[in-house]
A and B are shown apart, each in its own frame.
Chain A
Amino acid sequence: MILTHGESRRDSPFFFNPKTPFILIHPMKTKFKNNVVAKISLTVKPDRMSLFSPLLGQGFTLKSRTGTSVRDLLCHQIGVSDDYLDQRIQTIFLDGKVVDDVDTAVIHQGSSLALSAAMPGLAGAVLRRGGAYAAMRSQISHKNNTADDSVENGTVMLKLFNLVALELGPLLLKQGIWITGKNLGNFFQRVPDFFWDGCLTVEIDGISQDIRKMPLMGWKQEQVFLKLKLENE
């Protein structure tokens, strides 16, 4: 099933498997080398949600089992539905290499996984997973390997682009994501003025803050746990 433009089924089983909980994005269970962290919670109007897409494209960290396949991470740990992965996520990069087979490409500790819908242009066709023009980028194709026995807990950097960010982003943002303070500061400094009118409340580590001061804060934290709440939810 491919959704048509404007169709709003972002919480439907097509996107996420409701039977798989988001157990791996819990802030209290995540440890980083530098424990200088902050928890920031924003309440925004629903139409401001898409403004976070660029932030999702820069990457956020998940605690996950590593040593497993891309499909295992996305479908069995995060809860993305198999249909969504197979039909919608047409372009995947693991550590910058193009993935053709999500069942054999293995995630390792610290891996970066980027997800995109199908892309236009010859380049888009070339980068598509398992596509007819895969040979044209063989130098940057991910060499498939198999899962080993060393499955362990670790962290993965996830990047969501374009339609995938619009569709998977809201639920993940509502669950909360780990991002670098630098990226969050950059986001606050560059976001259009329009954003602030729709940003209703902000709390840092449980304490209410002045919204307009967000771009002026240093955001030196190695990691920030960002969680969104929608108005009237």
Chain B
Amino acid sequence: MDKILRINMGDENGPKASEEPLGDYAGLGGRGMTSAIISKEVAPLCHPLGKGNKLVIAPGLLSGSHAAQSGRASVGCKSPLTGGIKEANVGGQGAQVLARLGYAAIVLEGKPNDDTLYKVVINKDNVEIAPDNSLKMMGNYDLVDRIKEEYGNKVACISIGQAGEMKMAAASIAFTDMEQRPTRHAGRGGVGAVMGAKGVKVIILDDTGMPTRSPKDPEKFKAANKEFVQGLKKHPITGEGLPSFGTNILTNVINEAGALPTHNFKTGRFGGAGNISGETQSEIMKSRGGMLAHGCHKGCVIRCSGIYNDKDGNFLTKRPEYETVWAHGGNCGIDDMDAISELDRMDDDFGLDTIEMGATIGVAMEAGLAQFGDAKAAIKMLKEIGEGTPLGRILGSGAAVTGKVFGVERVPVVKGQALPAYDPRSVQGMGVTYATSTMGADHTAGYAVTANVLNVGGSVDPLKPEGQVELSRNLQIATAAIDATGMCLFIAFAILDQPETFNALVDMISAFTGQSLTADDVTELGKTILSFERDFNSRAGFTAKDDRLPDFFKTEALPPHNVIFEVKDEDLDRVYNW
């Protein structure tokens, strides 16, 4: 992983690939790589769909090795949804294969002179950029089937569906999973629209003949990895809860907490939650011959995904995640697991962010386009997006645009990006992260619950409410650092609870890189990444007023606890003071 592949889609002689050494970007991976390149090379005031923007795809520092859970990739650009910097994190096979091919990043630059659609084929010997207009307006599933016929069942695909081609601001980029299905998505921020603007339909990665990446100290690495895996398997969350119920294990609990945004953030409890809970979902999956514990990439031992079959026992989609179940479920008043799973399948096929889509349909329902709970209407709306009808184009632009077009006041977005599945009035610390994240409202921006273990930013008294800003800051720093490693964020719980697992992770990274890692190094890396991102956003015109939740969170009390968001603006402005 010692080179960067740049593909200039706007070269006067047609798309052109070139390789270069890492240079100033040496030692960076994942989000560290994407945010460094975007911050340094993209003019902050450029149009996100113009030639000045770049799309960066970067595997994590440990991707392509035997390190468990190291298959996350980062996709970065200037976001068409927020207008700021974007890193969308994704599983699937792409990170592992890209890293084994030796690339620390692929950078798509420039813009084609016409509307020709291209496919990019990368193997150990060659990079081929070929026009293929026969792929136009194909959904991700049909597209991958076509690629499989031509290139076999070993390649990994990174692709866009119709939404990306139409440059919709909610468009995602699909990464194929172990079964070569386009089920894993760099979902947030409209990264698919940028890939569409570059004229690239699919990147095909073939690592045949390439070895697994070797650590500097193989014996120490092997021992640490073994200890790390044992730690993940014995922890009740990573070893039992997630494999049994997936991330949707959260639905009942968040609902009980009164923090499940329901009917477009009107209440915090959904009466139909039990019908779409992880417990119910797992029983449906089991009864139809689906699979409960399944990884999204090779080397995953947590296996929080799964296979959701339809009523006839045929594959419909991967196990819809908690955020998807919330977005298309409680937020839209839908308590039909099959309808939610069909919506998930459509999102993956069209190439759309499930969170943004659920929030958008919720806003559309609030506007009166359909009744809350009307699953058929939700499916119809999503079909309109795939077909690119005028209404579909509006909805595909996300919740903020939809709210403006239809005159809705309660629009749950920050920096133009929809809030995820936790109401910030009930979980106020999460609201601090939603408001101040460089990414727009993002539940993963402050996800790394390792912050206290790492002692990032000093320790905070957990029982004092005034610590919320400090907690959010520390979590955002730790998360940015972990996003750079390519590790799945779900490792955080085993690390938090089991010191020996945390030590194993540190030993594993040290053995792989040959450098000893300290907590200070982690903190510094996280701060550096956030500084890149914050600086870019500042130059793009973002100010403190963009680090705010919508007004209704401060004025409308959320049942059942009847709470409003109470964190003061001046406290939000302290998050980045370090």
Residues of chain A whose beta carbon lies under 8 Å from any beta carbon of chain B: 2-5, 50-51, 53-54, 57-58, 88, 90-91, 93, 96-98, 114, 116-127, 130-140, 159, 161-163, 165-166, 186, 190-195
- Within the complex, the shortest CB–CB distance from A84 to chain B, in Å, comes to 12
Nearest residue in A to B452 (C-beta to C-beta)?
A132
Q: Which residues of B contact A134 (CB under 8 A)?
A: 462-463
Q: Which residues of A contact B466 (CB under 8 A)?
A: 135
Q: Are B247 and A120 in contact (CB under 8 A)?
A: yes
Q: Which residues of B contact A159 (CB under 8 A)?
A: 252, 256
The one of A97, A116, A122 that contacts B443, using a Cβ cutoff of 8 Å: A122
A159 to B279, CA, bound (A): 13
Q: Are B284 and A192 in contact (CB under 8 A)?
A: yes
- Within the complex, the shortest CB–CB distance from A210 to chain B, in Å, comes to 22
Q: Does B136 make an interface contact (CB < 8 A)?
A: no
Q: Does B379 make an interface contact (CB < 8 A)?
A: no
Residues of chain B whose beta carbon lies under 8 Å from any beta carbon of chain A: 233-245, 247, 249-250, 252-254, 256-259, 274-275, 277-280, 283-284, 286-288, 304, 322, 422, 425-430, 432-433, 443, 446-447, 449, 452, 460-468, 471-472, 475, 490, 492-493, 496, 560-561, 563, 566
Q: Are A51 and B283 in contact (CB under 8 A)?
A: yes
Q: Are A119 and B237 in contact (CB under 8 A)?
A: yes
Nearest residue in B to A131 (C-beta to C-beta)?
B462
Q: Which residues of A contact B493 (CB under 8 A)?
A: 118, 120, 124-125
A4 to B274, CA, bound (A): 26
Q: Which residues of B contact A192 (CB under 8 A)?
A: 283-284, 287-288
A119-B249, A139-B426 known; A2+B236 contact, CB < 8 A = yes
A125 to B240, CA, bound (A): 16
- Within the complex, the shortest CB–CB distance from B322 to chain A, in Å, comes to 8
Q: Which residues of B contact A114 (CB under 8 A)?
A: 252-253, 256
Of the candidates A125, A193, A195, the one having the most CB atoms from chain B within 10 angstroms of its own CB is A125
Q: Which residues of A contact B475 (CB under 8 A)?
A: 122
The one of A2, A119, A193 that contacts B253, using a Cβ cutoff of 8 Å: A119
The one of B426, B443, B496 that contacts A137, using a Cβ cutoff of 8 Å: B426
- Within the complex, the shortest CB–CB distance from A13 to chain B, in Å, comes to 18
A194 to B426, CA, bound (A): 38
A122 to B450, CA, bound (A): 10
Q: Which residues of A contact B258 (CB under 8 A)?
A: 96, 140
- Within the complex, the shortest CB–CB distance from B233 to chain A, in Å, comes to 7
Nearest residue in B to A51 (C-beta to C-beta)?
B283
A120 to B321, CA, bound (A): 12
A114-B256, A120-B242, A163-B241 known; A132+B283 contact, CB < 8 A = no
A99 to B233, CA, bound (A): 27
Q: Are A120 and B471 in contact (CB under 8 A)?
A: no
A139 to B236, CA, bound (A): 27
Nearest residue in A to B561 (C-beta to C-beta)?
A140
Q: Are A135 and B249 in contact (CB under 8 A)?
A: no
Q: Are B237 and A124 in contact (CB under 8 A)?
A: yes
- Within the complex, the shortest CB–CB distance from B569 to chain A, in Å, comes to 18
Q: Are B283 and A117 in contact (CB under 8 A)?
A: no
Nearest residue in B to A47 (C-beta to C-beta)?
B286
The one of B433, B449, B460, B566 that contacts A139, using a Cβ cutoff of 8 Å: B566
A119 to B247, CA, bound (A): 9
A50 to B493, CA, bound (A): 26
9 closest cross-chain pairs (CB), A and B: A136-B429, A192-B287, A194-B287, A138-B465, A125-B449, A53-B279, A54-B280, A5-B240, A139-B563
Q: Give me 10 A-to-B residue pairs in the complex whose CB atoms sit less than 8 angstroms apart, sorted by A's number.
A: A2-B234, A53-B283, A88-B236, A117-B237, A120-B250, A121-B322, A136-B472, A139-B563, A162-B241, A162-B278
Q: Are B563 and A126 in contact (CB under 8 A)?
A: no
- Within the complex, the shortest CB–CB distance from B242 to chain A, in Å, comes to 6
Q: Are A118 and B428 in contact (CB under 8 A)?
A: no
Q: Which residues of B contact A57 (CB under 8 A)?
A: 252, 274, 277, 279
- Within the complex, the shortest CB–CB distance from A217 to chain B, in Å, comes to 19
Of the candidates B236, B259, B443, B462, the one having the most CB atoms from chain A within 10 angstroms of its own CB is B236
Known: A135-B471, A139-B561. 11 other contacts (CB 8 A): A5-B233, A98-B257, A116-B252, A120-B249, A121-B322, A124-B493, A133-B471, A136-B471, A139-B428, A140-B258, A162-B279
A119 to B53, CA, bound (A): 39
A96 to B559, CA, bound (A): 11
A136-B468, A139-B428 known; A125+B496 contact, CB < 8 A = yes
